[in-house]
Amino acid sequence: MRLEITGLTKRYGKQAALNDLNLTIHEGGVLVLIGPSGGGKSTLLRVIGGLETPDSGTVTLHGERLPVTESGLLAYRRANGFLFQQFNLFPHLDALRNLTLPLETVHGQTPEQAKATAEEALERFGLLAHAHKRPAELSGGQQQRVGIARAVASKPRVLFLDEPTSALDPEMTAEVLELVQELAEGGQRIVLSTHEMGFARAVADQVAFLAEGKVIESGPPREWFENPASEHARRFLSKVLRYL
Amino acid sequence: MTASRRNWNLIAGLAIVLSFAAFCFLIFSGLRGGWNWQGPWEARELLFKGWKTTLWISLSALVGSLLVGLLLMLGQRSPLVVVRWTCRLFLEFVRETPLVVQLLVGYFLIFAPLLSRPLDNIGWDEKLIIGIILLSLFEGAYLGEIFRGGVESIPRTQWESARAVGFNRVQVYRYVIFPQALRRVLPAVAGQFVSLIKDSSLLSVIGAPEFFYQSRVYVSKSYAGLEAYIPLALGYLILTAPIAILSHRLERRFRDET
Ligand SMILES: Nc1ncnc2c1ncn2[C@@H]1O[C@H](COP(=O)(O)OP(=O)(O)OP(=O)(O)O)[C@@H](O)[C@H]1O
Ligand SMILES: [Mg+2]
């Protein structure tokens, strides 16, 4: 994955969620964003996921500038996938329809193609048995997995995941993380934020440590976890790793 | 149910039935000349014609008010401040003045001078058409508010997820927001439709030949009494009851679904 971000700023009122943020990634399929709450991880994901427009700065993904027009952003969102913490699925549709609807209406597949694609995606994640259940009839973990299946069914260039497990209990967290790991091993490019340090370390090719709207440091997980350069990251790690 | 609760139920039921019977007796014994169903029966064609007109008005205004309501809802969510304000102003005006006044002003001052001639020329009943337009605007203002409440009650996460899967603006509404909002507003919309049917009786003030108007014509011609108003009540009930029943059905179905 090639990602270059320069001078990225996003304000909500007076609050700067992203404050002149810079980040350059040259290689590695999985980028993990780590950092204290309120550090700007979600905001960064939303901007590079095409859901929010920054106030200033540029993002270049694989040599292409992030579009600024609404129609450009729409096309960009269609080419990538996004998953939030929770409530991703449309509650009035069953799992299968949650997958087929965007395939038909956004990606131009015929109903038969969409059904085949969707069933293949559900099958792959062991969810086919739940195809005809509505979100309310699925566990939180199953909902997130169906959400991921929906996001990857259209073969996104990059999959953005914002704390995909933070609303789940440990058992469900494990099943979702396994799935993400599987995707990563299959070559899916992923940018995700998480508070699960063990998982971050295992799955990441690159980590970026965000605090106060900036990337404080970034690099391969091994080095960063063993020996963070900044005092800020060291304090953060010692706090979150205390009980591991 | 306990035995004593059952006894009390029985006693209360009897008391209600008895007082209702006494009430009816008092009223009907006060009628001079007793019942006379001859009159309404002879006027049945006139009354039925009025009833059919009311049905027609109701159906047209139902569609019309849906359109108006939808436009007002979308207008209030427009990115343009001017559009938002205009819709808001119209809505407040319509909801804060009596329908009778709107009908009289709207007919005699606004629409009749504009539309009477052209409508007559193509052979349409101008009173009916203008009445339908005015009724659609009035009920549409209420529907607009109901729709707005429904759309705004859909949580932010649904709008975001809809955008995230790549739906454009229209698709977001069509596939995600409307289907969910519809389930929430259904009871209120059904209630509004029932109101619409009942409110259509006010079109008599501009002389639209609907059910209430024809009943009045008949009563004033024949000096008939209470008999004429009983078919009137039943006639409206036949129109409104199915909507109420259907709405309860759908409500239950949607509740079971989620
Ligand atoms: N829609 C918004 N309106 C106002 N302020 C916002 C909004 N979104 C984020 N912020 C603010 O921007 C800052 C960064 O928030 P962000 O959600 O990006 O942090 P985060 O790193 O994802 O935190 P967490 O780990 O708690 O999810 C926070 O101070 C937050 O209060
Ligand atoms: Mg966040």
ipTM: 0.91
Q: Which DSSP string corresponds to chain A?
A: --EEEEEEEEEETTEEEEEEEEEEE-S-SEEEEE--TTSSHHHHHHHHTTSS--SEEEEEETTEEPP-SHHHHHHHHHHSEEE-SS--S-TTS-HHHHHHHHHHHTS---HHHHHHHHHHHHHHTT-GGGTT--GGGS-HHHHHHHHHHHHHHT--SEEEEESTTTTS-HHHHHHHHHHHHHHHHTT-EEEEE-S-HHHHHHH-SEEEEEETTEEEEEE-HHHHHHS-SSHHHHHHHHHHTTT-
Mean pLDDT for the stretch of residues B3-21: 92
Within 8 A of A53 by CB-CB distance, chain B residues are none
Looking at residue B24, its pLDDT comes to 86
Looking at residue B183, its pLDDT comes to 87
B167 C-alpha vs ligand 1 centroid, how far in Å? 25
Looking at residue B224, its pLDDT comes to 67
Give the span between the Cα atoms of B114 and B121, in whole angstroms.
Answer: 13
Q: pLDDT above 70 covers what percent of chain B?
A: 95
Looking at residue B208, its pLDDT comes to 87
In a domain, B175, yes or no: yes
Place of tokens 């497990």: A165
The Cα of B47 is separated from the nearest Cα of chain A by a number of Å equal to: 45
User: Does B225 score more than 70 pLDDT?
Assistant: no
Tens digits of residue pLDDT in B184-207: 898 899 999 999 999 999 999 998
Nearest to A77 among B157, B164, B183 (CB): B164
User: Does B101 score more than 90 pLDDT?
Assistant: yes
Looking at residue A134, its pLDDT comes to 95
Nearest to A92 among B161, B164, B179 (CB): B179
| Boundaries of every domain in chain A | 3-80+156-240, 91-149
Tokens of B120: 């007559």
Show the domain range for B188.
Answer: 44-257
Residue of B nearest to A75 (CA): B166
Residue B214's CATH number: 1.10.3720.10
User: Does B83 score more than 80 pLDDT?
Assistant: yes
Which atom of ligand 1 is found nearest the CA of A210? 21
* Cα B9 to chain centroid, rounded: 35
Query: Which pairing describes strands A206-211 and A30-34: parallel, antiparallel, or unpaired?
Result: parallel
Tokens of A171: 């058992």
Query: Count of CB contacts below 8 A, A vs B?
Result: 59
Q: Tell me if A12 CB under 6 Å of ligand 1.
A: yes
Tokens of B218: 């008949």
Instruction: Give bridge partners of residue A192 from the DSSP assignment.
Output: A32, A161
Nearest to B163 among A77, A81, A134 (CB): A77
Total number of domains in chain B? 1
- Considering every ligand atom, which ligand is closest to the CA of A44? 1
Is A3-80+156-240 a CATH 3.40.50.150 domain? no
| pLDDT tens, chain A, 244 aa long | 899 999 999 999 999 999 999 999 998 899 999 999 999 999 999 999 999 999 999 999 999 999 999 999 999 999 999 999 989 999 999 999 999 999 999 999 999 999 999 999 999 999 999 999 999 999 999 999 999 999 999 999 999 999 999 889 888 899 899 999 999 999 999 999 999 999 999 999 999 999 999 999 999 999 899 989 999 999 999 888 877 6
In a domain, B20, yes or no: no
B215: confidence class by pLDDT, cuts 50, 70, 90: confident
**Nearest C-alpha neighbor of A66 from the set A10, A105, A134:** A10
Q: Tell me if A194 CB under 6 Å of ligand 1.
A: no
Tens digits of residue pLDDT in B228-249: 788 888 999 999 999 989 888 8
A82 C-alpha vs ligand 1 centroid, how far in Å? 17
Give the span between the Cα atoms of A213 and A215, in whole angstroms.
Answer: 7
In a domain, B179, yes or no: yes
In a domain, B17, yes or no: no
In a domain, B7, yes or no: no
A52 C-alpha vs ligand 1 centroid, how far in Å? 13
In a domain, B159, yes or no: yes
Tokens of B42: 């002879």
Q: Tell me if A17 CB under 6 Å of ligand 1.
A: yes
Residue nearest ligand 1's atom 27 by CA? A37
Non-local CB neighbours of B3 within 8 Å, separated by 6+ positions: none
Tokens of B206: 């501009």
Q: How far is CA A133 from CA B31, B175, B209, in A?
A: 63, 18, 52
